[in-house]
């Protein structure tokens, strides 16, 4: 029994090593420029191991993004979103959480966005990340609606849309890459603009 447990632990460690190698290469070289052989070489495993771990490049990318959505950190963010009772504090917390996640994942997600234009499997994986964020935004909108904090003309669905418009990866890339804003500048602007767009004046 102990030997089986050790084998399972070793297999999981190897899988994580392969995922880490895939993330590093996808980020540095790009999705299309990275081969399964590159991943195997970087992880110091056989090509067969790479296929077993994720089913090739698209499977590894999907696993990476699923892993990113289901982290303990994301679970903690969702728990905090359900506990904050002040609307302004709730928005500030959400803004900071999305800023942190963008900082952590932007290098990979920029490569994903570029590859998604050409590859349907990459688009499906990208949607996993998008849906993870949309879930947090829907939760926030529902909390604000429940507090009676939304301004006239903004219902829960419109609040979710406005949050997505401000906090999606696309919105962050627009501010950081195209406008040249720092993440500090972006966060400061969001903390001004989101309450104005969403909340009743108090």
User: Does the residue 61 lie in any domain?
Assistant: no
User: Does the residue 153 lie in any domain?
Assistant: yes
23-53 residue pLDDT tens: 999 999 999 999 999 999 999 999 998 888 8
pLDDT score for 53: 80
- Number of independent structural domains in the chain: 2
Cα–Cα distances in angstroms (integers) from residue 5 to residues 1, 10, 140, in the given order: 6, 9, 41
- Parent domain of 179: 71-198
Domain limit, last residue, from 56, 79, 98: 56
Pull the structure tokens for residue 183: 């993440």
| pLDDT of 71 over the 90 cut | no
Q: Is 189 exposed, middle or buried (0-12, 13-18, 19+ CB in 10 A)?
A: middle
Nearest Cα to Cα of residue 119 among 169, 57, 68, 168: 57
124-161 residue pLDDT tens: 999 988 999 999 999 999 999 999 999 999 999 999 99
78-134 residue pLDDT tens: 999 999 999 999 999 999 999 999 999 999 999 999 999 999 999 999 998 899 999
Residue 27: how many other CB atoms lie within 10 Å:
18
Percentage with pLDDT > 90 across the chain: 78
Give the predicted TM-score (pTM) of the model. 0.88
The CATH number linked to 28 is 1.10.10.60
Residue environment code for 35-73, b if the CB has 16+ CB neighbours within 10 A, otherwise e: ebebbbebbebeeebbbebbeebbbbbbbbbeebbeeee
Same domain, 82 and 30: no
Cα–Cα dist 187/92, whole Å? 9
pLDDT score for 180: 97
């Amino acid at each position: 029994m102990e030997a089986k447990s050790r084998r399972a632990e070793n297999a999981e460690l190897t899988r994580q090593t392969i995922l880490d190698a895939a993330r590093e290469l996808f980020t540095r070289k790009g999705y299309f420029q990275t081969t399964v052989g590159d991943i195997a070489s970087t992880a110091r495993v056989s090509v067969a191991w790479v296929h077993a771990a994720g089913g090739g490049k698209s499977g590894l990318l999907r696993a990476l993004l699923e892993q990113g959505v289901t982290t303990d950190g994301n679970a903690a963010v969702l728990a905090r979103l359900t506990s904050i009772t002040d609307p302004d504090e709730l928005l500030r917390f959400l803004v900071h959480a999305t800023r942190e996640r963008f900082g952590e994942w932007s290098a990979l997600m920029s490569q994903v966005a570029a590859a998604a234009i050409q590859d349907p499997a990459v688009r499906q994986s990208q949607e996993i990340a998008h849906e993870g964020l949309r879930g947090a935004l829907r939760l926030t909108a529902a909390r604000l609606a429940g507090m009676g904090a939304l301004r006239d003309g903004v219902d829960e669905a419109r609040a979710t849309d406005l949050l997505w418009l401000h906090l999606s990866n696309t919105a962050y890339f627009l501010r950081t890459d195209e406008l040249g804003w720092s993440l500090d500048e972006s966060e400061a602007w969001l903390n001004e603009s989101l309450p104005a767009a969403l909340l009743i004046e108090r």
